[in-house]
């Protein structure tokens, strides 16, 4: 029931920055699609936050992400970038992960060069695999995909571990290995962001990660496009907004013993059913009702 969108590859070939909001389930994907976004970002951190109430420290696995991805792509036709963490193991695990996520309907996978246990790119204490190991993972992903429109996004977390220049050198190697998009995580200032674009912007689409309260300065889409990025993700903003709203809702319910004071901040019964397209589902089901096909007895 959702309209189709141009592929992510074709969007990145255009002149406009692609903005991908973070999603964590089919409902958030549906609402983001209805808001007009042409690409969505399935955040592994947000799955950990919402489904398990746990931090982003490598506690969820490939199958859990694949299950969530399947529910999303079954509900919306909007291209989805999926956070593949480290590929959930070595290059053989990457092969299995790429096959699974492509089969589940993703249009891109993001792979990073952290060692296990991995953690959010804006948390301290990360460790990295050798660059050569990540090169092997990128090559495995490129060789495994069945469709050229399935993009490989290579992320390095080296700025926080090895420094800015080593991070650029790692990114160079991942580009040579065949990455379609580069994601150099957590630049500390505008000068580092400009340097990333100066080195790579003419050769490959670059991803900027906007984390509210993280290490990278927050910029809007117009500024990121001016700097030279082609793709911007806002991966955890959805959950940061939702968690605050839920806290306020539960606090109000506890204080007042009812939802009356909160009604103006809620979708009421009919509004929610319109949002999730209940009338369209019922009409579709009615078209296949047995009364339309007579009695075979």
- The pLDDT of residue 102: 98
Mean pLDDT of 175-200: 98
Q: What is the dihedral of CA 120, 126, 127, 131, to 10 degrees?
A: 50
Q: How confident is the model at residue 118 (pLDDT cuts 50, 70, 90)?
A: confident
pLDDT above 70: percentage of residues in the chain: 95
Q: Over 80: is that where the pLDDT of 122 sits?
A: no
The per-residue pLDDT for 296 is 61
Answer yes or no: is pLDDT of 116 > 80.
Answer: no
Reported as a single tens digit per residue, the pLDDT across 50-69 is 999 999 888 899 999 999 99
Q: Residue 108 above 90 pLDDT?
A: yes
List beta partners, residue 82. Answer: 42, 109
Q: Quote the percentage of the chain above a pLDDT of 90.
A: 89
- Judge whether 16 and 55 are in contact, CB under 8 Å: no
CA separation for the pair 16, 20 (Å, rounded): 12
What confidence score (pLDDT) does residue 2 get? 54
- Over 112-145, what HEC string results? ECECCCCCCCCCCCCCECCHHHHHHHHHHHHHHC
pLDDT band at 159; cut points 50, 70, 90: very high
How far apart (Å, rounded) are the C-alpha atoms in residues 44 and 57? 10
3-state SS assignment for residue 232: strand
Q: Do the Cβ atoms of 199 and 206 come closer than 8 Å?
A: no
pLDDT at 121 over 80: no
CB-neighbour burial class of residue 63 (10 A; exposed 0-12, middle 13-18, buried 19+):
exposed
Closest CA to 129 of 175, 97, 193, 174: 174
CA distance 73 to 69: 6
Spatial distance between the Cα atoms of 126 and 117, rounded to a whole number of angstroms: 8
Which pLDDT value is given to residue 292? 83
DSSP structural state of residue 234: E
Please state, in angstroms and rounded to a whole number, the distance separating the CA atoms of residues 109 and 197.
21
Specify whether the CB–CB gap between 29 and 78 falls below 8 A: yes
- DSSP letter for each residue of 163-220: -HHHHHHHHHHHHHTT-SEEEE----SHHHHHHHHHHHTTTS-BEEE--TTSSSPP--
Span 219-266, pLDDT tens digits = 999 999 999 999 999 999 999 999 999 999 999 999 999 999 999 999
**What pLDDT score was predicted for residue 106?**
98
pLDDT at 56: 83
Counts of helices then strands in the chain (DSSP H, E): 13, 8
Predicted structure pTM score: 0.94
> For the chain, how far is it from start to end, CA to CA, in angstroms?
34
The length of the chain, given as a count of residues: 297
């Amino acid at each position: 029931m959702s309209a189709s969108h141009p592929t992510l590859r074709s969007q990145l070939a255009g002149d406009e920055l692609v903005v991908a909001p973070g999603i964590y389930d089919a409902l958030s994907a549906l609402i983001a699609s209805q808001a007009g976004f042409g690409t969505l970002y399935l955040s592994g951190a947000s799955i950990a936050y919402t489904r398990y109430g746990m931090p982003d420290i490598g506690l969820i696995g490939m199958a859990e992400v694949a299950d969530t991805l399947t529910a999303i792509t079954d509900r919306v036709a909007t291209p989805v970038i999926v956070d593949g963490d480290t590929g959930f193991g070595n290059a053989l695990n990457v092969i299995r992960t790429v096959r699974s996520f492509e089969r589940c309907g993703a249009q891109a996978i993001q792979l990073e060069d952290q060692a296990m246990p991995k953690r959010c790119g804006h948390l301290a204490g990360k460790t990295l695999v050798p660059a050569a190991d990540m090169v092997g993972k990128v090559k495995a992903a490129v060789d495994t995909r069945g469709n050229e429109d399935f993009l490989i996004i290579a992320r390095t977390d080296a700025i926080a571990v090895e420094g800015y220049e080593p991070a650029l050198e790692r990114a160079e190697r991942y580009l040579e290995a065949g990455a379609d998009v580069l994601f150099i995580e957590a630049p500390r200032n505008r000068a580092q962001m400009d340097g990333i674009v100066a080195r790579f912007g003419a050769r490959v689409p670059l991803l900027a990660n906007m984390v509210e309260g993280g290490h990278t300065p927050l910029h809007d889409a117009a500024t990121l496009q001016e700097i030279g990025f082609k793709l911007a993700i806002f991966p955890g903003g959805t959950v940061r907004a939702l968690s605050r709203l839920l806290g306020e809702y539960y606090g109000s319910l506890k204080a007042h013993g009812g939802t009356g004071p909160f009604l103006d901040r809620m979708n009421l019964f009919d509004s929610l059913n319109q949002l999730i397209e209940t009338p369209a589902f019922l009409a579709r089901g009615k078209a296949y009702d047995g009364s339309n096909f007579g009695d075979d007895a």
